[in-house]
Structure 1
Amino acid sequence: MSHSLPVVAIASLGGTISMTSSDAAAGVVPTLDAAQLARSVPGLSDVATITTSSLRQLPSASLRYDDLMEALVWAEQQVAAGARGVVLTQGTDTLEETAFLLDLFWTLPAPLILTGAMRAPQAAGADGPANLLAAVRVALHSESVGRGVLVVMNDVAHYARWVSKGDSLAVQAFVSRDGGVAARLVEGAPAFFHARQARPGPLTRPVRAWPKVALVTAVLGDDGELAEMAVKGGYEAVVIAGQGAGHVSFAFAQRIGVLAEQVPVVIASRAAGGSTAFQTYGYVGAEIDLAQRGARMTGWLSALKARLLVAALLASGVAPGAVGDAVANWSRLTRQ
Structure 2
Amino acid sequence: MPKPKHSTLIQQAVARAKRLMPTYPTHFHDIEAAKTFIATVCSNASFIYCPPTNLTEEDEAYIKDKVHFVVAVHAFEQGEFYLKNGLRDRAALRSAIESDIHRLLTRHHITTWPPHFPHAHAAKMFVRSTARANNFRFSAFEGVSPQTFEGYVCFQTARRGFEAGGFELRDAIESDIHRLSPHLSPLWPPHFSSLNAARNFVARVCREAGFRYEGWPGLGMERFKLFVHFRTAEREWGLGRFGVGDGVEVEMRKEEVKEGEVDKSSKTMAVEKSSPALGMLKFNNNKSSPIPDLLLQNLTPTTTVHPSPTPLIADASNPQDQTEQSVSTTDKRDPFKDLIAELGRVFILKAAFE
Structure 1 length-normalised TM: 0.23
Q: Comparing both structures, which one devotes a greater share of its residues to helix?
A: 2
Structure 2 length-normalised TM: 0.22
Q: Comparing both structures, which one devotes a greater share of its residues to strand?
A: 1
Larger Rg: 2
